[in-house]
Amino acid sequence: MEEFKCVKRELVKKGAIIDYYQDTVLVPNGNEVKWDIIDHKGAAAVVAVREDGKLLMVRQYRYALGRETIELPAGGLNGREEPTKLAAIRELQEETGYISEDMEFLTSIYTTVAFCNEKIDIYLARNLKTRGEQHLDEDEFINVEAYSVEELKQMIFESRIQDSKTICGILTYAAKYLSE
């Protein structure tokens, strides 16, 4: 592999969730190029399986898309050092009102590798227990719904679910635990 070397990093904008940098990079042919980089502290998501086999999903409005989405329960880390499993446990309870003592690592994804380092660890939660009400952030308005894996796969294939973490989580769970 040929070497790429960052010779300069400039913070363009510090945000609440992301930081935007412009890097000057020396590429293998000797040229210097500018690359935009989005720095993200990371996140965790949960494939939460009820006893009846249905998966808990959250329906919420996503401002960037201008519409509602159906997604896995998920959220950002409180800091880079927070273990993603703890974030998954927290987000499951906050967004759905459920808890699980049976959390298993399922997979990791990088959401947009060309310009962003956001990594999401996806966990499987079984043996769910209700813990009461949701504990949503002031800007969250979430409805909890439950679907069979087949219903969710159909929504993926019809492009009704387009969120990458959700697609990866559902299809990884189905391939690992439901394949014949």
Residues 87 and 172 in one domain: yes
Question: Nearest 10 degrees: CA dihedral of 26, 32, 38, 42?
Answer: -10
Q: Is 101 a catalytic residue?
A: no
Residues 47 and 126 in one domain: yes
pTM for the full predicted model: 0.90
Give me the domain span that covers residue 33: 5-39
Residues 83 and 152 in one domain: yes
Q: How far apart are CA 10 and CA 110, in angstroms?
A: 23
Q: How far apart are CA 62 and CA 117, in angstroms?
A: 21
Q: How far apart are CA 105 and CA 84, in angstroms?
A: 9
Q: How far apart are CA 172 and CA 156, in angstroms?
A: 13
| Annotated active-site residue in 2, 138, 158, 180 | 138
Using one digit for the tens of pLDDT, what is the confidence trace for 15-71?
988 999 999 999 999 999 999 999 999 999 999 999 999 999 999 998 899 999 999
Q: How far apart are CA 62 and CA 104, in angstroms?
A: 28
Residues 70 and 59 in one domain: yes
